[in-house]
Amino acid sequence: MAVIRPFKGIRFNREKVNDPGRVITPPYDVIDRPEQERLHQLSPYNIIRLEYGKIYPDDNEIENRYSRAAETLNLWLKNEILKPDSRKSYYLYEQRYTYNRQEFKRRGVVAALKLQPYSDHVILRHERTMAAPKADRLELLTRTRTNISPIFTLMPDPENRIKDYFAIIEEYKPLVDLGADSGMGHRLWNITDQAIQEELTAYLSPQPLLIADGHHRYETALNFYQNSDHGKTPGAGYILSIMVCMNDPGLLVLPTHRLVSGLDREQKENLFNAVKNNFKMVERGSPGELNRGKYLGELASLSREKCGLGFITGEQSYLLIPEGESCGETLPVSLLHERLLKPVLSPGAGGEADKDLISFPHDIETVLKAVVSGSADAAFILETIRAPEVLDRAGKGLVMPQKSTFFYPKLPGGLVLYNMDLSW
């Protein structure tokens, strides 16, 4: 069973930081260099300085982005820019956002989640991880001993009870209330009543938890606790998590396509030959004149029934039907990586395809613009994998390639932090 517990969250002191909207940040893995710079300029206390600090030319093993994060965190704690809450709490979090002109509201419970190996079949993963991001997060965790941004987990909530806690708590003034003027809003409350905490713990603990986002951070924290901390610090055995109900109406999963760019002549030929040898190619016309709705509708049916996917070049759009494959438990994204991307773009490496050649857009317009303009060599279009299917596959131990899902939007860092010493 999952083990969760309330904790003393570390939050920005509103007497010194009066606008929380200027200090929160997306998680590190979606921040590019221009966004990193923008966040640094937004506020001297933006959490980017901890989550994903700048790299400077004279950095070395002693002085670097990780040492600066630790120094900054200690300074902010000393000056009470950041303060631990006086009482252990569960926190209720609400995220409001707009997508395709439709408004959504996603809600979850913020808790300290006990780190357990995947082999326990309690915390479930659904995507593979890569070594470089885990090395980066391990260094940051080692220096700061703090979870700066939460991982995102999904729970079944079979009795649909989480909404009842929100119905009660939203009558009270939230700790944080950021408007959705820019298309994104955040509200945060705390639950300090011990009886309610025990009730929440009893309800949530028996449920399996699926990691929707944060596989690298979860595995890093588990590695730190088992090998670096050697299990000596109880607080190191937990990680900051926001748990969202599987049936939450605001839970939105977007497709994650593959845009391939920067191929040399030989790679292009090998990729296109591999497509021809592994798939039946059904032409659907010029990408510049593609009927998006009809194409995506055909793709959705083909994906479910025959593990099909889309393929778009600068000259032609295709639907691909795999040769000699019945769906079963196979997914189109797995076929794509195993039959095409790994053997062609990373032959003999034994790992994932070369990430420098692949980007992962979520909308068809970005894809079409790139291939038509010639800035990309080709694109593979994938149907959305729904959350219940992700949970079902994870429960069977079936792991998908990295970036197979995108739970939109990302959760912010900076609303509440977890420190393995101070929060315990």
The 3-state secondary structure of the chain, one letter per residue: CCCEECECCEEECCCCCCCHHHCCECCHHHCCHHHHHHHHHHCCCCCHHHHCCCCCCCCCCCCCHHHHHHHHHHHHHHCCCEEECCCCEEEEEEEEEEECCEEEEEEEEEEEEECCCHHHCCEECCECCCHHHHHHHHHHHHHHCEECCCEEEEECCCCCCHHHHHHHHCCCCCCEEECCCCCEEEEEEEECCHHHHHHHHHHHCCCCEEEEECHHHHHHHHHHHHHHCCCCCHHHHEEEEEEEECCCCCCEEECCCEEECCCCHHHHHHHHHHHHHHEEEEECCCHHHCCHHHHHHHHHHHHHHHCCEEEECCCCEEEEEECCCCCCCCCHHHHHHHHHHHHHHCCCCCCCCCHHHEECCCCHHHHHHHHHHCCCCEEEECCCCCHHHHHHHHHCCCCECCCCCEEECCCCECCCEEECCCCC
Residue 410 pLDDT class (50, 70, 90 cuts): very high
Q: What span, in angstroms and rounded, lies between the C-alpha atoms of 344 and 349?
A: 11
pLDDT value of residue 150: 97
Quote the crossing angle between the two packed helices 364-373 and 292-306, to the nearest 10°: 110
Same domain for 195 and 277, yes or no, is no
Q: Is the peptide bond before 409 cis (omega within 30 degrees of 0)?
A: yes
Which residues, other chains included, contact 361 with Cβ-Cβ below 8 Å and sequence gap of 6+? 256, 257, 259, 367, 370
Same domain for 44 and 153, yes or no, is yes
Same domain for 143 and 189, yes or no, is yes
Residue 128 pLDDT class (50, 70, 90 cuts): confident
Same domain for 269 and 204, yes or no, is no
Computed over every residue of the chain, the mean pLDDT equals 92
Which carries the bigger pLDDT value, residue 329 or residue 165?
165
Same domain for 30 and 157, yes or no, is yes
Q: What span, in angstroms and rounded, lies between the C-alpha atoms of 30 and 26?
A: 7
Same domain for 235 and 297, yes or no, is no
Same domain for 263 and 228, yes or no, is no
Query: What is the pTM for the complete model shown?
Result: 0.90
pLDDT value of residue 23: 96
Same domain for 173 and 80, yes or no, is yes
In a domain, 228, yes or no: yes
pLDDT at 348 over 90: no
pLDDT value of residue 347: 56
pLDDT tens-digit map of 238-252 = 999 999 999 899 999
Across the range 47-75, mean pLDDT stands at 96
pLDDT at 195 over 60: yes
2: its two tokens: 């999952």
Same domain for 77 and 225, yes or no, is yes
Same domain for 228 and 310, yes or no, is no
In a domain, 394, yes or no: no
Same domain for 236 and 220, yes or no, is yes
In a domain, 403, yes or no: no
pLDDT value of residue 325: 56
pLDDT value of residue 129: 87
pLDDT value of residue 338: 87
Residue 401 pLDDT class (50, 70, 90 cuts): confident
Which residues, other chains included, contact 331 with Cβ-Cβ below 8 Å and sequence gap of 6+? 307, 385, 393, 400, 404
In a domain, 16, yes or no: yes
In a domain, 296, yes or no: yes
In a domain, 93, yes or no: yes
In a domain, 397, yes or no: no
pLDDT at 222 over 60: yes
Contact 161, 203 (CB under 8 A): yes
Phi, psi of 258 (to 5 degrees): -120, 120
pLDDT value of residue 236: 97
pLDDT tens-digit map of 253-303 = 999 999 999 999 999 999 999 999 999 999 999 999 999 999 999 999 999
pLDDT value of residue 385: 87
Q: What total number of domains does the chain contain?
A: 2
Whole-Å CA distances, 222 to 39, 251, 400: 29, 27, 21
CATH number at residue 353: 3.30.1760
pLDDT at 306 over 60: yes
pLDDT at 355 over 70: no
Domain containing 374: what range?
256-383
In a domain, 136, yes or no: yes
Same domain for 246 and 290, yes or no, is no
